[in-house]
Structures are given as C-alpha cells and as structure tokens.
Amino acid sequence: MTNHQSPVTSNEQRITTHESRIYVAGHRGMVGSAVWRALEAKGYTNLIGKTSSELDLRNQEAVAEFFKLEQPDIVINAAAKVGGILANNEYPYPFLMENLQIQNNLIDTAHHMGVSKFVFLGSSCIYPKLAPQPIKEEYLLTDSLEPTNEWYAIAKIAGVKACEAIRKQYGKDFVSLMPTNLYGPFDNFDLKSSHVLPAMLRKFHEAKATNAPVELWGSGTPMREFLHVDDMAQAVVFAVEHVLPEHLYNVGTGTDVTIKALAETIQDIVGHKGELLWDSKKPDGTPRKLMDSSKLESLGWKSTIALNEGIAKTYQWFLANCNHLKEVKN
C-alpha cells in the first residue's frame, strides 16, 4: 500500500453523519467509554449503549431483538472478555467461547440487519509469538501464538476473519482495528485479572505509604508498546468517518519500552521509593511486541499522547476513583 493514499476513493461518499445511529457495544468498558466520549465530543447525537445486565451479548436471540428495535446504522464492537496472563491461563474456556459468542452475534446480526459499517476491535495478541518486529498486518496466521493468551487470540482472529469474509463476499464496510496494549481511565486494576500497566500502578500505589518492596513478574526484559485509550478512541472515530481501503489495521504508537523501564516510570510517577523485586520464575510472555501502524498512519491517524503523560493522567484518574475500586488500599 502506498503512503498518503486517501482513505476515501473518488466514487465513495462518507456514509456517516452526526445523526447516524451508532451502537457502541461495551460502552461502559475502558475502550467503549473512551469511544463514546470521543464520538460525543465530535457532535454525534444518536449513540446507543446497553449494559451487560440490559443486553447479554452472548444470547443470539436477545441481540437480534435489540438490533430490530434500535436499527443501528453503525456498530462498534468494544465488548469482550479481557484479562492478563493469569486470567487467560486460569480461564481458557470462557476467554475462547464467550468472546466467540459476543462477536459472532454482533457481526452476524449486523450483517443480516443491513448495518452499513462495522468496526471490530481486537488485540495485538492475534499475531504470532515470535513475529518479526515491528509487527505488520500480513504476519497474521504465519506462526504459532503466545500460549498464555491463545484462547483470547483465537477468538479475536475468528472475528477478524469473519469481518474480512463479509467484506470480501458482500462488499460491506466491515473493518478490524488491532490496538497494542491499551491503558487509561476505567482500566481494570484488579491484581488477579488486570494487564501489566494498571497492575503495576496499583501495586506501587499500595506500597507507597510504607515504601514496601514491590514484587513484579518475570525478568523485566520483555519490551511492550502502550497506547492511551483516548488515542485508540480517535482511531475508532477515524474508521467510523472514513471508508478504509483494507480490512485490518494495527493501532499503536510505534515505540516500545522494557517492562523494567515501565516499572521505573510508574514508580517515579506514583512516588514510591521502595525496592523492586523481580520474580524470574514467573512467565515473561512474548519477548517483544511492537506494532507497525504505518498503514493507518498513512491514511491520516496518529497517536498524540506520550507514555509519561498518559500514565500520569491515568494515575490521577485512579486516585480520584480508587475508593470505588474493589479492595484498593489507600
């Protein structure tokens, strides 16, 4: 794909207006709530959201009834069962099956109900464990996955392929966005099921009062890329507002850091002065995972929030909301 090509070809018209009925599945989660805020900020007035208690996305009949009632023009799938290495290892079946149920119901119903645009959100874990770096979209399915999160990854790969198949067979504007590691407000800070950045932030916060040592998993040598969720939301808005020429796009910053450097950055922002202890008996996961986001960037989207700035903002949100989070020690 050549650089700087327009995302909208000459014979295509923008199909989105500020009055378009946009259903954001998972609108209460970290990504979905960021997408909702971004759409509202741009003047979209017909946003649709349902909590999991109001609509069980695993229930095919319930999803079909909801679509018949609400008649969305655009669907953004930010709903998923998510978690870190520990959660994926301990609960492989729900990570596979519930994600398949959620996305299959949304994709298939959207297709049969004539939804004009579908934005499917996945994860960089869909790519092979030892993929060349940085990871390009074409590396999908070229090698084996990281075993610690393959259940979630396989479900997301199925979603990407379902959207690609609909696009190929029916010419519909179904597109998949694969973000790198996301963080930000409304993240999951539960130590048993959270990802590395929010887990570290909470650990350092809880140890700050006494400057107790903080124990972290692995060696600290793996490298990771982190994208603030508000940047991800802008990528989703970009996909909503344009007809993108391909079915799959990576979404990242183009830079990564070691887990050790991440820990030291979070420690500094939180103000913890204690010792760092690395448990090398715990798994590191994938050695490096840096996304090549040049395809989406060539169309006009680019991340804007630096890691230090994003972590500081996230910690401020955490401080303002930690009394409402389960079992957080102040």
User: Is 123 flagged in the annotation as binding?
Assistant: yes
Closest C-alpha to 280, from 194, 213, 200, 221: 221
**Residue 296 known to bind ligand:** no
Q: What one-letter code names the amino acid at 188?
A: N
> Cα dist. 239→34, 79, 99, 101, 117 in Å?
15, 17, 22, 24, 9
Query: Does 144 carry a binding-site annotation?
Result: no
| Dihedral angle sign, alpha carbons of residues 153, 302, 284, 199 | negative
Q: Is 190 annotated as a binding residue?
A: no
Distance from chain centroid for Cα 84: 12
Q: Is 254 annotated as a binding residue?
A: no
75 in Cβ contact with 57 (< 8 Å): no
Is 195 marked as a binding-site residue?
yes
Q: Do the annotations mark residue 159 as ligand-binding?
A: no
The response to whether 30 counts as a known ligand-binding position is yes
For residue 302, what are its two tokens? Answer: 């680019």
Say if residue 121 carries a ligand binding annotation.
yes
96-99 CB contacts, 8 Å cutoff, 24+ apart = 96/151, 96/152, 96/154, 96/155, 97/155, 98/58, 99/152, 99/155, 99/156, 99/159
SS3 305: coil
Is 310 assigned to a binding site?
Answer: no
C-alpha pair distances (Å), 120 with each of 98, 170, 219: 16, 17, 34
* Residue 49 is labelled as binding a ligand: no
**Active-site annotation holder among 152, 183, 249, 315:** 152
152 classed as catalytic: yes
Annotated binding-site positions for substrate = 203, 217, 224, 284
Annotated binding-site positions = 26-32, 121-124, 156, 179-182, 195, 203, 217, 224, 284
Catalytic site positions: 152
Annotated binding-site positions for NADP(+) = 26-32, 121-124, 156, 179-182, 195
